[in-house]
Amino acid sequence: MWKVTETKHAAKELRKLPKRIALIYQTLTRDLEREGPRPYGWDVKQLTGRPEIRIKLVREYRVLILVVEPDLIVVKVAHRKEIYE
């Protein structure tokens, strides 16, 4: 079983998210804990030249996750225009 944790920066960003996005994020964390870093039904990509994986929440929001077995560390949660800065 995997454990999902958030960095302080990611936790702060999560508090600012719209409620509907926060609910989708909760569903994602449940799936991540159950299935690992590549949960079925989610758009997951390994970033080129970076250690993080990207998971698309909805059209405009992304989550960056660092995999350190058996932990999944949420590094950043943001709008797609701001996620890669």
Residue by residue, pLDDT tens for the chain (85 residues) are 899 999 999 999 999 999 999 999 999 999 999 999 999 999 999 999 999 999 999 989 999 999 998 999 999 999 999 988 7
Closest C-alpha among 61, 73, 71 to residue 25: 61
- Strand residues in 27-83 grouped as ranges (E): 43-46, 53-58, 61-68, 71-79
- Sheet with 71-79, strands from edge to edge, namely 3-6, 71-79, 61-68, 53-58, 43-46
Amino acid at 41: G
Q: Is the peptide bond before 18 cis (omega within 30 degrees of 0)?
A: no
What the chain holds in terms of domains, given with CATH numbers, is: 3-79 (3.30.2310.20)
Q: Cα 43–62–40 angle (5° rounding)?
A: 25
